[in-house]
Amino acid sequence: MLVYQETVMETTNPVFLICYLGIITISLFLYSKRDRTSFSKINLSGITYNKIYTVVIPLAVILIGTALRLYKLTKIPEGLHQDEASIGYEAYILSEFGMDRDGNRYPIYPITYGSGGGSPLMIYLNAVTTFLFGSNVLTLRALPAFLGVLTLVVTFFVIKTLSHESILVSDSAISIQYVTGEFLWLPLVSLCIVSFCPWHIMLSRWSLDSNTTPFWVLLAMLVFVIASTKQKESTAFDNIGTLFKSRDRKKRESLRAADSKATFLYALSAFLYALCLYSYGAATFVIPVHLILMCFIFTKSKRMTAFQVFCGVLVFAIFTAPLFVFYVINFLDLPEVITPFFTITKFTAKRSVFASGSGILLAIGKNLFTIIKNLTYGDSSEQILNYIPGFPPFYAFTFPMTLLGIVISVIRAKRGELIDLVMHSLFLPALLFGLFVEEDITRMVLIFIPVIYYLARGFIFVVGEFVTVEKEAPSSIKHYAAILAKSVTPLLLIVATLLFCRSYFNDFNDLSAEAYMPGYGQACAYADKCVSEQSTIYSTYEHVSAPFMVALYYTKTSPKAFLQTVHYKDPNAEFRIADSFTHFRFGLPDDMNENAVTYLDDGSIFILHKTQLDILNNAPGYNPEAYVIKSFGNFIVIKAGN
């Protein structure tokens, strides 16, 4: 099945790409021939749309997107990734014991593996859900899935609000078709893209800190834009200020003053943007630049006052101050801050993913190539966590449409279109950041947000040209040909989505078994219950990654017991990996082949991958009937019989 699916995509992607290139070429030709001087200003207040398009269809798309993110959430992916286990264990001990795995009381930034690996927001939100609903795979994955669903809703309203504002301030002569495309179809197409693209479906179904970042960024952006609409309404009389006489100067000034509701929403947006910095490390660099650009855009267009900028900066500074202190302590190697209520800790090892030194230009070129690959045909070196071969983040064949959307958006931004300026304010710093770090799909999470808009922008342009032909066609042949052409673009996306869903829900567990280690956690929990006080659990290191983390999560070992017994392979490594704690020893004994029976008879327990059963079968004196063998997914537990 896996080979068949890969073969299908090897054929489908080039065919779909050729179709998209052909449709784009024809639409550009039609645009060049179309008369664009016949439009006139229209009364926007008189335009209404059927609720089927404004409510029913968006709601249906959201419901389908919800199903794709919740269906068999605990079973696909089956098992638990080491980073999920790390976040889950940290959340469990913080909610249960009030400390992290290093014994720090409520750390501002839990250092997890030593140099990071789990951002604070995801860990503490999981601590809340763990406290309320218990510690298990469902509660661990429910948070990114739930926020992933909310991201669909927020994306729709961000694009809808921005497109509406762009139309209202447009000075160009526009047609009713243009208004419909911008206000009705642009938000809906953006919603469809984020709902059905492989990137967002996959990240919503497992627990990693960066997986919730799109939600927080988009929510902060939505609140910011809503604030601007409130402020714009309060200064609506600026355009008729000349009607007031000099005695009405105070009245004019009050009309231009900061609106209280808008100011509150700007402050709330600043708080949400501050949370973004706690959601993922990349946001620390991208979000401040994005905010500076946003403030410039909105103050220049008189949607934001200097006072509101000041309030926003103050709120942002207050709520990011603890994180800033954390970075200063680590950068300058200052002492930790330890209080009875919280801790500002230090990393046990320094880690840098930034390009530097003599090879910086080569590194930038490599990072750019990685970004382009992930936006086009996919990067085969990406982990299976984020990428299924044949299904790059936005499908391989859509990149020409995205590129077209970028070009159109740049042209629109030069005209001062608000929605395009806002998207560029996030895309440019995210792209710049991506050029200077070791880029992968995870770190591209901030780039993908505006890419959704660019792809939708390309779709709207192409389909719009065929809609024009459809309405103005002098013959029925051209009329129906235009209908067929405009239908091909979404139809191919639907087919690709169906192929992806078939591959993901049928094949992903087989593809990702090495990453998620299905059954290993349950095997550890069972062995931990069976082991005697003086005995040892020997775990395989085959087909597992950082197994100690998964064992910690499933056995719910207390942080004190862990701290008293843990032994790290290298305590100063970038990622500290334990080779033992309490009863667990990760790695089989060197004399396992010769003395397996002796170990079992002495009370030791073995956790093996199912492919290693021959080690026991070939061991001298081994009799399967004398021992208890339990299977857990791809792993087995062997212990002496009672």
Domain that includes residue 596, residue range = 517-640
User: CA angle at residue 186 from 184 to 192, to 5 degrees?
Assistant: 105
**Residue 312 and residue 206 share a domain:** yes
**Residue 534 and residue 442 share a domain:** no
Which of 507, 548, 519, 537 is closest to 634 using CA atoms? 519
The stretches in the chain having pLDDT less than 70 are 1-7, 35-48, 170-175, 233-258, 357, 381-382, 642
**Residue 580 and residue 465 share a domain:** no
Residue 236 has a pLDDT of: 53
What digits encode the pLDDT tens for the residues 400-431?
999 999 999 999 999 999 999 999 999 999 99
**Residue 538 and residue 439 share a domain:** no
Four-point Cα dihedral 132, 137, 138, 143, nearest 10: 70
Residue 172 has a pLDDT of: 58
Q: Using CA atoms, how far apart are residues 364 and 359, in angstroms rounded to an integer?
A: 9
Residue 641 has a pLDDT of: 82
Residue 379 has a pLDDT of: 75
**Residue 549 and residue 462 share a domain:** no
Coil, strand, or helix at residue 295? Answer: helix
Please, what is the average pLDDT of the chain? 89
Residue 316 has a pLDDT of: 98
**Residue 495 and residue 523 share a domain:** no
**Residue 632 and residue 488 share a domain:** no
Q: Domain ends where: 486, 508, 530?
A: 508
**Residue 245 and residue 153 share a domain:** yes
**Residue 147 and residue 61 share a domain:** yes
**Residue 584 and residue 486 share a domain:** no
**Residue 252 and residue 343 share a domain:** yes
What are the tokens at 79?
A: 């098992």
pTM flag (> 0.85) = yes
Four-point Cα dihedral 323, 324, 325, 331, nearest 10: 110
Report how many domains make up the chain: 2
Q: How far is CA 414 from CA 6, 114, 193, 420, in A?
A: 42, 46, 26, 9
Residue 22 · residue 466 · CB < 8 Å: no
Which residues have a Cβ under 8 Å from the Cβ of 278 and sit 6 or more positions away?
A: 119, 120, 121, 323
**Residue 504 and residue 527 share a domain:** no
Q: Domain ends where: 485, 508, 531?
A: 508
Residue 428 has a pLDDT of: 97
DSSP label at 72?
Answer: T
Q: Using CA atoms, how far apart are residues 365 and 436, in angstroms rounded to an integer?
A: 9
Q: Domain ends where: 450, 485, 508?
A: 508
